Structure 1
């Protein structure tokens, strides 16, 4: 049960300051405060290890904070989206999925964006390092090849990156010419001994250093000091600006688009807004370096708590001297502090590696166990009809929605009647279904989308066209202000999918409860001659499955922070948002003998239903069963859904002698928003697979239908 809350603290960006601050806030929760992290990326890069990733010393997961794991471990809501608009006057954010998010307190740690003004905003040959969070994906698309490569910017980041690229080329046998270009000198601000040592490393890799060189774009290409730049790949590591969303906001920003902050990290124009890391502009200009962001985290966590609870705030005092450890391509590094050279060599790299690994371990084996903040003692909760959400909150949450209006709706949400009135054509069939389940993720917009898609799936499985829907929503026990926000986001997500399906939201019912839950009664219309049923499968038919299995296992892993792996969960959530409408439309000219959607009973449970309704048997090729990334490794670690045990009752109807135990767990895994399961004539198979593929559905042939033999207790053969 989630403790009651009455304030929303929203953190935008998963940078170093926010990642560390979340750990601190989790270990000492603020009573009555709900925390939400918004980031477009599920993995957040640790800048100190990025050169090592490029050089091949580390893997992607070694060098990135798993924000899903961090948020679940710290009791933080995670919204994977980019903020497109900040309106501090109304305390509202607009996200790139079209939804809005309101807050009471806001913190920004969104980094910076490259300043490409010298090259007139960019060039096809240029790849910027910033934003760091998404750099690895850009690098993967661009790294291979032997054409000349230039790194522009010879500060610490650019020099480390040039050496890392050279090490990557050495390991992969590439021979492309590599140059490091500086508008001034190598490593400005560093002591001469450090510059000399790094110069030797550059020479060892045959990297050409070009100092006092300006790169600019002209009509016929890129130029360096008025001569054509001899490089077809350019990595831009110099100059940054504030992100567009901050520069265009109503916050006070400097001429580079960074948020002006006081020494308490509060915005100069709005004390309810904080900023840290590269996106903050301090009274005394600071270099854009991760060492400052790390130190700011403690002050940020303290001041967020203090501001919300009315306590004195601390001032952030940037360190005057800090240890600098520069990686030098191979497993070697240069150390300096306070203007003097300390050491260089392989042992310094090992020292740096221990420091970096210790930092990353804070977000792995040292993730904190969240202690729940005390509930608000002034909030009381009723049951029965008294548990309904107040009419004001309901009205505020729904007033801006614009649901699609189907023909024949006589009374819907606008009529405020006790029930919807629907005029139905006499020669059609009304297909109606209801689904309702607790939220598996504490993000209302995403959950609303999945709940709507899951409910609509029953209509698609019967080849019905969605017409109208009623919502049934349970909201957690929070302050009415927060309940209104949750309801608005949940219903906005649901309406997004209902509108896409041409389905009218005609009303619904809300209550309070210990956790968020939602479901929809959906109505559809269908030609009785075109309906699909579970009965009708014939011997010789081929079986097709349109989505991979494993959602039950993946969602169960969310409850175990040591098992959760963000990229696997991210892939799962993307599959949950794929509508079965796509597959249904692609099958309109195909003779479908039987169809169902794979949901709570698992694949075997739904196959058994078709066997019973059609009086057939089935042979399933278990090697062809599609599964979500990481599902079998999780099962092998003991992860499974609580419903899996009940679903395994179907195994008494299966011949399982040749099937390993982990695979049986997968076949009994309950699915949320699972795919469609078709039984189609064998001769239609090539055309079906082509049509589904062209529609973007990666369907798998998983078996065939057999004549039922005398042993009615074994109707599914697994091999």
Structure 2
């Protein structure tokens, strides 16, 4: 009697988080299936927001569905299983991803693209009274609710005077032109990531929209409707947005992976200190070429990550990722204009918004 042949179990790839890089990896596997592996995607919900179009949505230019990436559809096309849950840890010894509620998902290879949060839990009153700009979905939900119930002459406070903070402030001012929008920056200068010319243009747009930018205002505490700063001054608000922090998930400290300020340290192949675990997007720290947190790097990392996950399963040579030194920053100014900054050469105008809009819509079209 012939014994039945045993089928060898397929390697298990678990993608933790539905960030931009993982969405593009799924698209790649949909186009060129990875038949030699079982693929699982873990994300709190079936959709993820595209960060490039968020300011446009806040300003009222895009409906919510325009910036939502359908992870369920992408997963199905790639032959992946979507688990709607929040990851809370990685048991590397047991090869398991731990989920909220006590469930776990076994893996042979795992990849992290869980993004970051703008929460500042150590700051008194932040969690209760301030809406962090990240995660994006929760922020967009709370903003839409506020817009629908905003009082006349509402006061909007934006904590953090970086590019993200000022861009969102301009979007808020466009959506609610009667609102008083104020940006509070802890340092002596706002928009320090921009070249001098682009910074000057953004400040002019802020003035045109009536957005006030106050520097040297380090937040000390938040109360219901009131902010308190280190200089003992206070400011009233109806809606407060936190953009000044980039905080990784605290459970990463329990994984035993090498971290840099809480972010997962990776090398040129996007592998962490554990070669079976990859990381990309904002949660990754590129040890060989540190870069600021920006979506452009997640997008450029995606082809390398997809290739290297395939190589991990099928065997083959890993590719290396070397990010560009500088990148084109296209920053919306609220009213369908944009400022561009690269190599310190600023540009400004409605035509730049049209370019940004075309790039963003093209990105989303590729994922549908």
Relative to the length of structure 1, the TM-score reads: 0.48
Q: Distance in 2 between matches of 1:285 and 1:222?
A: 34
Aligned residue among 249, 252, 256 for 1:250 = 256
Choose which of 42, 45, 49 in structure 2 pairs with 1:41: 45
Is the contact made by 2:173 and 2:179 (CA closer than 8 Å) also made in structure 1?
no
1:141, CA displacement in angstroms?
Answer: 3.3
2:315 is aligned with 1:320: no
Retained in 2: the 8 A contact 1:41–1:133?
no
Distance 2:49 2:9 in 1: 31
SS in 2 for 1:353: helix
Q: Report what 1:349 is aligned to.
A: 353
Deviations 1:49-76 (A, max 9, x none): 0000111111111011011111112221
Within 5 A, what are the aligned runs for 1:475-490? none
Report how far residue 115 of structure 1 moved: 4.7
**1:214-613 residue pairs with structure 2 within 5 A?**
214-217=218-221, 222-224=227-229, 225-254=231-260, 256-268=261-273, 270-283=274-287, 284-341=289-346, 343-364=347-368
Hey, which bits of structure 1, 4+ residues long, moved more than 3 A?
A: 141-144, 218-221
Give the aligned partner of residue 3 of structure 2. Answer: none
What's 1:59 paired with?
63
1:5 to 1:70, Cα distance in 2 relative to 1, 3 A:
farther
**Given that residues 88 and 100 in structure 2 are in contact (C-alpha distance below 8 angstroms), is that contact kept between their aligned partners in structure 1?**
yes
- Please, what is the CA RMSD of the aligned residues? 2.0
1:19 maps onto 2:26 in alignment: no
Instruction: Give the C-alpha shift of residue 142 in structure 1.
Output: 3.4
Answer yes or no: is the 8 Å Cα contact 2:130–2:222 preserved in 1. no
Shift of 1:123: 4.4
Separation of aligned partners in 1, 2:311 and 2:90: 23
Equivalent pairs counted in the alignment come to: 355
Residues 33 and 121 of structure 1: CA distance in aligned 2, closer, same or farther (over 3 Å): farther
Three-state SS of the structure 2 residue aligned to 1:18 is helix
The equivalent residue for 2:184 is 181
- Say whether the 8 Å CA contact 2:33–2:78 is kept in structure 1: no
Task: Check if 1:165 corresponds to 2:172.
Answer: yes
Secondary structure of 1:330's counterpart equals coil
Query: Cα distance 1:123–1:15, how it changes in 2: closer, same or farther (>3 A)?
Result: closer
Distance 2:48 2:38 in 1: 22
Say which SS state the counterpart of residue 88 (structure 2) adopts: strand
Secondary structure, aligned partner of 1:356: helix
Tell me, yes or no, if the aligned pair for 1:83 and 1:96 is still in contact at 8 Å: yes
Shift of 1:260: 1.5
- Deviation at 1:218? 7.0
8 A contact 1:150–1:180 mirrored in 2: yes
Give the secondary structure class of the aligned counterpart of 1:241.
coil
Q: Which runs of 5+ in 2 are unaligned?
A: 1-6
Aligned-pair CA distance for 1:94: 2.1
Larger-gyration structure (1/2): 1
TM-superposed CA distance for 1:333, in Å, is: 0.7
- Higher relative contact order (Cα pairs below 8 Å, separated by 6+ residues): 2
CA contact (8 A) 1:186 1:211 kept: yes
